[in-house]
Amino acid sequence: MMNRALLDGLDFDAYERVVILSPHLDDAALSCGGLLHALQGVSTLVVTLCSGNPPALVGADGSIKAPSRRGHVSPRIRRREDIAAMRSIRAEFVHLSFPDAIYRRSQAGKLIYRNERERWVAPRADDTIYIEELHQLLRRICLDLGSILLVSPMGIGDHVDHQITARVALRLAAAGASLLFYEDFPYVADPASGRGDADGPAQALARLRLAPAERFIVPVDVEGKMRLLGHYASQVPVLFGSDDGMREDIVSHQHDGRPCEFYWRARVPDESNKTKG
């Protein structure tokens, strides 16, 4: 497949703005840090979906408490980190108040995703209300305000929130948005991350019932991306172990010997080309 330089391959003047969907409070910087640097001067909005506090729990005695999940940092801390990161590159951003999958509950009040392993599954039926509300809100943000380029995760690593974002992005594309997928980092660079089975672009697109059409390249300034990701102090140890681990993952994802980010256009496979049984 031919690789094209994204900034040369797309006419950004044709879009009123670029909207980057970030499932969590670091995904846009992790996966699109190079693009965000390159788009300074272009009208760009980063929309983080799962930015909200966990829904409060009401005890039998009427007391209210804020739930927590072991090993997960308070959304308030993570919002502060993301604000600092976005301001450092002068990016416009908005935080939506949906909770992370690990905090979402069914109408019966039970956790939809009960443990760490269940983040790496297909969206559950109990998440349907959240998905529909997210779709309607993003329609208001993304559509009927001029032509936009929508940049969405493709779901590499199979995190449920990334899968949901990609599915909603496809619905927005069907309603008129121009859609580009980004490779979910660090899942694409580290075979042990996400589900831990070296998931990749082809598999992620196949789960969306799509096939690759074009791949675009954005060169990455390693030191610049390191500085950007350094704002997410609570997440670097979890995702990379250390700054050295982060640098290794950034440098390892290359094209022609240069660290890069990759973006994809996708298409519906041509069923007529399949061999009939």
Domain ranges of the chain: 3-53+70-269
Q: What's the average model confidence in pLDDT over 252-269?
A: 94
For residue 19, give the H/E element and its range.
strand 17-22
- Cα–Cα distance measured from residue 268 to residue 148, given in angstroms and rounded to the nearest whole number: 21
Main-chain phi, psi angles of 57, to 5 degrees: -105, 135
Residue 270 pLDDT: 76
Task: Indicate if the pLDDT at residue 66 is higher than 70.
Answer: no
Q: What's the average model confidence in pLDDT over 36-47?
A: 92
- pLDDT over 90 for what percent of the chain? 72
Q: Which of 95-99, 116-120, 214-218 shows the lowest mean pLDDT across its residues? A: 116-120
| pTM for the whole structure | 0.92
The answer to whether the beta carbons of residues 212 and 206 sit under 8 Å apart is: no
- Cα–Cα distance measured from residue 131 to residue 76, given in angstroms and rounded to the nearest whole number: 23
Class for the domain spanning 3-53+70-269 = alpha beta
Residue 109 pLDDT: 86
Residue 73 pLDDT: 84
Residue 70 pLDDT: 59
Residue 54 pLDDT: 87
Give the model confidence (pLDDT) of 194-237 as tens digits: 888 889 999 999 999 999 999 999 999 999 999 999 999 999 99
Q: What's the average model confidence in pLDDT over 140-166?
A: 94
Q: How confident is the model at residue 60 (pLDDT cuts 50, 70, 90)?
A: low
- pLDDT over 70 for what percent of the chain? 92
- Cα–Cα distance measured from residue 218 to residue 187, given in angstroms and rounded to the nearest whole number: 18
Task: Indicate if the pLDDT at residue 185 is higher than 50.
Answer: yes
Residue 277 pLDDT: 46
Give the model confidence (pLDDT) of 9-38 as tens digits: 888 889 999 999 999 999 999 999 999 999
The answer to whether the beta carbons of residues 205 and 266 sit under 8 Å apart is: yes
Task: Indicate if the pLDDT at residue 155 is higher than 70.
Answer: yes
